[in-house]
Structure 1
Amino acid sequence: MNANVYDWECKVIRTIELPEHFQEEVRVDIIRKVTYSYWSNRRQPYGSYKFAGMEASAWTSKRRRTYRTSYGFGISRVPRSIFSGHWGYYFLWYARIVPNAVKGRRAHPPKPEKIWRVKVNKKEKKKAIRSAIAASIKEEMIKNRYPKLFKYIKPVIDKYKLPLIISDLEKVKKTRELKDILYSFGLKETLEYIKEFRRNRAGSGKRRGRRLERHRGILVVVSSDFNNYKLKLEGVEVEKVDRLDIDKLAPGGEPGRFIIWSDKAIEELNNLYI
């Protein structure tokens, strides 16, 4: 399988042979399995205090004619604390400790010793990455991933075909240069749509530093020699080819991300994820 390489002015400069990754069978089940493992391994263990709800001075007795007995009062056998009392016989009790009581412990609290890590075979990880790369050149999967954005991406796909390979992306020094290159390839409306796609997150996440939901946008893959981490363009992720993972290639376990490749990244890909 061959693909054209374009310069910054959208002109074809040569044709290169693509790695075997692009001909891989797309296994959505393995992609989602590895994605589940990826996010499980990022989880931080959490749990409640070990003795939460159990530090009350409460107990119960059903012996007859003894101090602080609850025999004969028609009440359940649960631990109780004394709120007030007199004569050593009659007390005002409050149930404590048990899960169904006020200020009692939880029945099944989260355990900090729980193991969240999910192991996946190394071959499956590489298979998932190759599958996600192969899915990035299938128009039907891109359409499924970008149901609203696809109408802006479709003209670019029809004109330049997939995968879109641009030469010397590693030489980009400024964000403005990267923006101009993407605009020249007809991605202006795509980036504007991604930038406008902001909405308040539902639920408590907006009170925890995640107020807005943002579009993951498109991915630009460069060679391992790239070291300009100042390129920050909303809706565009820039990543080295040797640092790709399943979250970059198929966010959320959904394959078909629109990817722009550097010609040097394609050359390095021949020796990676095999």
Structure 2
Amino acid sequence: MQKKIEIISKSSTSSVVDLPPVFRTPVRSDLISFVHKNVALNKRQPYAVNPNAGKNYSAEGWGTGRAVARVARIKGSGTRRAGQGAFANFCRGGHMAHPTNVRRRWQRKTPLNMRRLVTAMGISASAVAPIVESRGHRISGLKSIPLVVDNEMLQDVKKTKDAVKFLVELGLTEEMDKTKEVFIKSGKGKMRNRRYKVKKGPLIVYDKEICTKAFRNVQGVDMCRVDDLNVLELCPGGQPGRLVIWMKDAFVKLHDLFGDLENEANLKAGFLLTEGIASGDDIERIFHSCEVQAFIDEPCLIDKPKLVKNVKEIEKLNPYLSLIN
């Protein structure tokens, strides 16, 4: 029997919708972290130092016989710079060791089905309350998750104040207060348009176009089409458990996007969901169970004596051995 999810709407009568099979996907944090790292690398922009940096000097080595290093030295006289070392990476103003170049392998290839599977894992983790809370989201004001909202509730949301009011009505007051806290980063990222560290808030997933501009200026809130869901949105930092607000049409479309355990997805050719083989993940309890211990031999804790072959050592153990022989 499929689980029913209540839809939040303006009307007094509540409606329900079936929980898509994608929410039964087992979550593997190691696989999520691996795919997130590879996908995030694809956004990098190539950078390199100037190939001639540290080499624009008139310098020449003095050769041997002067009791000084054979590094190239600045020509000329009359200044303190004359005679100083140049070019080498250990010299002042010299080039760097192993300079960077734009021919580096910047991007990483990740199998398509692996990316799809990790996206399904991120969706599944968003419906587990302990995982969502462990990620730092404040969901004490919510009745249950996943949070499914009727599309009619966003018809009147045109401005930012309407968007904030909508989130407060859902019970996300503590979540909004959390995202207001802004910290200044350490390091040189402050100079490179990464000055502030903003905490992640809820992710609003929709199918049909809604007023996205109303939520654009709400701090920590992101919006994404259900067709464009990826591990970067569902698992920021490679950590699953993003708080997701589903629009009704997007929630229903998950069945067509990811299919079920028996049939392939309609919109993703060749993709089939996986199901956990083990009913429990407590490995220690499984190992110490009677069924497993019945097939395991008892460990031998008695130390086996070492075989002594040296004649002198044998005589020490048995002095009368020489008399017998």
TM-score normalized by the length of structure 1: 0.84
CA distance in 2, matches of 1:180, 1:133: 26
The count of residues paired between Structure 1 and Structure 2 equals: 250
Paired amino acid for 1:216: K
- Partner residue of 1:155 out of 119, 134, 141: 141
Per-residue CA deviation, residues 172-216 of structure 1 (Å, 9 max, x unaligned), is: 441444333322222123212322x11111112222222221111
CA contact (8 A) 1:164 1:260 kept: yes
Alignment of 1:1-274 (within 5 A): 1-8=3-10, 13-62=14-63, 71-84=64-77, 93-146=83-136, 149-150=137-138, 153-156=139-142, 159=143, 161-168=144-151, 169=153, 171-174=155-158, 175-195=160-180, 197-223=181-207, 225-231=208-214, 232=216, 233-273=218-258, 274=271
CA distance in 2, matches of 1:76, 1:12: 88
CA contact (8 A) 2:7 2:14 kept: yes
Identity of aligned residues (%): 28
CA distance in 2, matches of 1:221, 1:37: 24
CA gap of 1:16–1:78, structure 2 versus 1, over 3 A, is same
| TM-aligned CA deviation for residue 4 of structure 1 | 1.2
Paired amino acid for 2:61: T
CA contact (8 A) 2:178 2:199 kept: no
CA distance in 2, matches of 1:122, 1:165: 28
Which one scores higher on RCO, CA 8 angstroms, separation ≥ 6? 1
CA distance in 1, matches of 2:166, 2:71: 72
Unpaired segments ≥5 residues, structure 1: 63-70, 86-91
CA distance in 2, matches of 1:172, 1:244: 25
Report the 3-state secondary structure (helix = DSSP H, G, I; strand = E; otherwise coil) of the residue aligned with 1:270.
Answer: helix
Could you say which structure has the higher strand fraction?
A: 1
* Bigger radius of gyration among the two: 2
CA distance in 2, matches of 1:53, 1:238: 47
CA distance in 2, matches of 1:227, 1:166: 13
Per-residue CA deviation, residues 60-95 of structure 1 (Å, 9 max, x unaligned), is: 253xxxxxxxx432011111222328xxxxxx6221
Report the 3-state secondary structure (helix = DSSP H, G, I; strand = E; otherwise coil) of the residue aligned with 1:96.
Answer: coil
CA distance in 1, matches of 2:247, 2:155: 11
CA distance in 2, matches of 1:77, 1:176: 71
| TM-aligned CA deviation for residue 165 of structure 1 | 0.6
4+ residue stretches of structure 1 with deviation over 3 A?
Answer: 175-178
CA contact (8 A) 1:172 1:178 kept: no
CA contact (8 A) 2:55 2:94 kept: yes
Paired amino acid for 2:135: R
Per-residue CA deviation, residues 26-57 of structure 1 (Å, 9 max, x unaligned), is: 12122111211222100101000112112322
Unpaired segments ≥5 residues, structure 2: 259-270, 272-325
TM-score normalized by the length of structure 2: 0.72
Paired amino acid for 2:141: P
CA distance in 2, matches of 1:244, 1:251: 12
CA contact (8 A) 2:29 2:240 kept: yes
CA distance in 2, matches of 1:226, 1:98: 59
